[in-house]
Amino acid sequence: MSSLRELAQMLGLSITTVSRALDGYGDVAVATRERVLAAAETTGYRPNSAARRLRRGLTEIVTMVLPAEPGHFNEPLYIELLRSTGERLAQQGYDLTLIAALPGPDELKTYRRLIEGRRTDAIIVVRTRREDARLRYLTDIGFPFVAMGRSDFAEPYAYVDGDGEAAFHDAALRLTGLGHRRIGHLAAPSAFTFAHLRRSGFARAMRDTGLPGEIIEDSATEAGGYRAAGVMLAQAQPPSALLCATDSMALGAMRAVRERGLVAGRDIAIIGHDNIPAAAFSDPALATMELPIAATGRRLAEMALARIGGADPRDMTEINPVEFIPRASLGEARG
C-alpha cells in the first residue's frame, strides 16, 4: 500500500486519525492505534519519514544515555536492552542512538547538548539514583523521557522497574529455608535505587527471621564482588550463603570462593541477579534472578513514543515481578 489515504479508506478512519495513530499521539485511543499499526504492518505501509519529520518537527530519534565512560559499554544487561528497545522503536520508524556520559559534574552537559541541539525526541534514563539530577532536569524543562528504574524523586515520571525489594526478600527466605543461618549480602552502591531496594529486601528478610545478616558494599562489578566476598570469607565464622546485588558481583564472589578451596553450591550458596549470559555458563552455573529484559526494552520504547505523543507520565509506571532461576550454585538443603 503506497499512501496514507488508501490505508485510511481501508480502515474507515480519517486521514488525520490514522496519521496521529502512526505518529504515536496520546489522543488516539489505544485500540484504534493498535488497529492502525496492525493494518500498516499487514499491508506493508511505511510512512514517508521525511514528510513526517517536517510535519512534526521531530528527529525520529530516541536516545539512551548510559552512565559509563565512552567506549566502555561492557554490561551484558544493556546489550539485550538495546536490542529489544531498538527493534520496537524501528517498528514505528524511529532510531535508537546510544551515548555514554561519565557520571559526575559534567553528566548533565550531555543531556543539555542533546536537547538544546534538538538531536533527539526523547531520552531513556538508565541506572536511576535515589537522588537523581537527571530526572529533575528533564522534568523541569518538560522534555519527554522514560526511566528504567525508580528514584526518591517526588515528581511523577514514566518508568519501568522490577520489584527488587520483594525479589531479594524472597531469595533470602529461600536460603533460610535451605537451612542457612549465616547469610551475607554483597551490595552495590546504595546511591543507586536498584541497590537500595535489593538491600532493603535482604534486610527485611533478616528482620523477619531474626537472623543477623551482614552487608558489605562495593562496586556492582566482578572486582567489587571479589573484594566484598573476600572480606566476608576471611571472618572467623564466614557466611554459608552469599546473596549478590548483581550477577557480575556473584561471578567475582565465585572466584574468591575458589581461591579458598571452597566449592560454590557445595560449601557455600551463591545467588546473583540479572541472568546475564555468563551466569548459565559459570562453574557451577549461577542461580540468579531476572526482570525479563527484552520485554522491559519493548515497554521502554513504547513509553518513550507515548511521551513524545504527549501522554501523561502519571499513567505510565510499571513495577514488574522478578523471576528466580535456580541453578547449581544454590546448592542443596543443609542438614
Give the model's confidence band at 176: pLDDT under 50 very low, under 70 low, under 90 confident, else very high: very high
Predicted confidence (pLDDT) at residue 47 exceeds the cutoff of 90: no
**Out of 31-45, 85-99, 292-306, which region has the weakest mean confidence (pLDDT)?**
31-45
Q: What is the mean pLDDT of residues 96-101?
A: 92
Give the model's confidence band at 138: pLDDT under 50 very low, under 70 low, under 90 confident, else very high: very high
Q: What is the mean pLDDT of residues 34-48?
A: 80
Predicted confidence (pLDDT) at residue 49 exceeds the cutoff of 60: no
Give the C-alpha separation, 66 to 28, whole Å. Answer: 32
Predicted confidence (pLDDT) at residue 59 exceeds the cutoff of 60: yes
pLDDT higher at 54 or 254: 254
Residue 202: is it exposed, middle or buried by C-beta count within 10 angstroms (0-12/13-18/19+)?
A: buried
If asked whether residues 168 and 234 sit together in one domain, one would say yes
User: pLDDT per residue over 234-250, tens digit each?
Assistant: 999 999 999 999 999 99
If asked whether residues 169 and 151 sit together in one domain, one would say no
Answer yes or no: is 335 within a domain.
no
**What's the pLDDT at 324?**
98
Answer yes or no: is 13 within a domain.
yes
**What's the pLDDT at 253?**
98
If asked whether residues 176 and 287 sit together in one domain, one would say yes
**What's the pLDDT at 45?**
78
If asked whether residues 279 and 297 sit together in one domain, one would say no
Q: What is the mean pLDDT of residues 204-216?
A: 97
CB 181 within 8 A of CB 237: no
Query: Which CATH number belongs to the domain containing residue 310 in this structure?
Result: 3.40.50.2300
For residue 266, give the 3-state DSSP assignment.
coil
Q: What is the mean pLDDT of residues 297-305?
A: 96
Instruction: Kindly state the cell numbers that stand for 39.
Output: 493494518
Answer yes or no: is 228 within a domain.
yes
Give the model's confidence band at 124: pLDDT under 50 very low, under 70 low, under 90 confident, else very high: very high
H-helix segments, the chain = 4-11, 15-22, 30-43, 49-56, 76-90, 107-116, 133-141, 164-177, 193-209, 222-233, 247-259, 277-281, 293-308
Predicted confidence (pLDDT) at residue 50 exceeds the cutoff of 80: no
Answer yes or no: is 199 within a domain.
yes
pLDDT higher at 44 or 94: 94
Q: Distances from the Cα of 109 to the Cαs of 114, 135, 148, in angstroms?
A: 9, 14, 21
If asked whether residues 128 and 91 sit together in one domain, one would say yes
Give the C-alpha separation, 36 to 17, whole Å. Answer: 9
Answer yes or no: is 299 within a domain.
yes
Predicted confidence (pLDDT) at residue 85 exceeds the cutoff of 70: yes
Predicted confidence (pLDDT) at residue 335 exceeds the cutoff of 90: no
Query: Which CATH number belongs to the domain containing residue 41 in this structure?
Result: 1.10.260.40
Answer yes or no: is 55 within a domain.
no
If asked whether residues 298 and 155 sit together in one domain, one would say yes
Give the C-alpha separation, 110 to 313, whole Å. Answer: 23
Answer yes or no: is 52 within a domain.
no
**What's the pLDDT at 58?**
80
Give the model's confidence band at 43: pLDDT under 50 very low, under 70 low, under 90 confident, else very high: confident
Q: Which residues constitute the domain of residue 182? A: 164-291+324-330
**What's the pLDDT at 54?**
46
**265 phi, psi to nearest 5 deg:** 90, -25
**Out of 24-33, 35-44, 110-119, 246-255, which region has the weakest mean confidence (pLDDT)?**
24-33
Predicted confidence (pLDDT) at residue 73 exceeds the cutoff of 80: no
Answer yes or no: is 56 within a domain.
no
**What's the pLDDT at 289?**
98
What is the overall mean pLDDT for the chain?
91
If asked whether residues 168 and 158 sit together in one domain, one would say no
Number of domains the chain contains: 3
Secondary structure element (H or E) that encloses residue 217, with its range? strand 214-217
